[in-house]
Amino acid sequence: DAGVTQSPTHLIKTRGQQVTLRCSPKSGHDTVSWYQQALGQGPQFIFQYYEEEERQRGNFPDRFSGHQFPNYSSELNVNALLLGDSALYLCASSVFSGTNYGYTFGSGTRLTVV
Amino acid sequence: QKEVEQDPGPLSVPEGAIVSLNCTYSNSAFQYFMWYRQYSRKGPELLMYTYSSGNKEDGRFTAQVDKSSKYISLFIRDSQPSDSATYLCAQNTDKLIFGTGTRLQVFP
């Protein structure tokens, strides 16, 4: 049973560029959440997608946007990259009306902005 | 005040020691708490979850919630070098609010 798959695993971008990160949820999961984890910090909630709509959003600027596809996979887009966007980006999938602890995380995409 | 606070450590203990990891939270409206373990270069994996107050045990791990003091704890008995990782506490408020994470090293 495949878990959450994220791609790419590593990425180096230049300040001002745009980046797209991808996530395939665990089989049977219909909801995707994205988190940003800076070095030495806990993950910070960016947003959550269900039924192809953004359901919740954390305290992140509009430069961060996302999309969910009919097969439940999701993309995270970041425009006008800043050095401070360097972090591990984690995708977590879950069932929308499921248990309160049923989140499965991927291994993340490590983004470095230079 | 951060919603979930956690001592970042690092914590270094000998093999076989009992480890105590702690967090405090501020929002009493949500009572689902989780402990995740994160190895280097990996995503967090769920270790334990608890609801409201009380203890929950799973093998060498015990999770505890004290609602009155807004304190959550994870105890690891007979710690092993393979337990060396970062431990994250989280509160589910319809999204996961994480603590900073505590780095634990168990040396042989």
pLDDT of residue A74: 98
CA A74 to chain centre: 8
B103 or A96, which is more confident: B103
Q: Looking at the complex, does the CB of residue A25 fall below 8 Å from at least one CB of chain B?
A: no
Query: pLDDT over 70 for what percent of chain A?
Result: 98
**A1, pLDDT greater than 70:** no
Interchain CB distance below 8 Å, B49 and A100: yes
Strands A109-113 and B45-51: unpaired
**A93, pLDDT greater than 60:** yes
- Give me the residues of B, 8-37, that contact A with CB < 8 A: 8, 32, 34, 36
Reported residue count of chain B is 108
pLDDT of residue A97: 79
pLDDT digits (tens, 9 = 90+) for B67-87: 999 999 999 999 999 999 999
- The highest-level CATH class for domain B4-36+43-107 is mainly beta
Report the DSSP beta bridge partners of residue B45: B37
Distance from CA of B70 to the nearest CA of A (A): 19
Q: Euclidean distance between the first and final Cα of chain B, in Å?
A: 37
The band of B7, judged by pLDDT with boundaries at 50, 70 and 90, is confident
The band of B106, judged by pLDDT with boundaries at 50, 70 and 90, is very high
**B32, pLDDT greater than 80:** yes
The band of A75, judged by pLDDT with boundaries at 50, 70 and 90, is very high
Q: Which of A9, A105, A109 to mutate to test the interface with B (most CBs of B within 10 A)?
A: A105
Strands B85-92 and B32-38: antiparallel
Using an 8 Å CB-CB cutoff, list chain B residues near A101.
Answer: 32, 34, 46, 49, 92
Q: Is A84 helix (H, G, I), strand (E, B) or coil?
A: helix
Interchain CB distance below 8 Å, A100 and B92: yes
Q: Which of A23, A91, A100, A107 to mutate to test the interface with B (most CBs of B within 10 A)?
A: A100
**CATH architecture label of A5-113:** Sandwich (2.60)
pLDDT of residue A102: 85
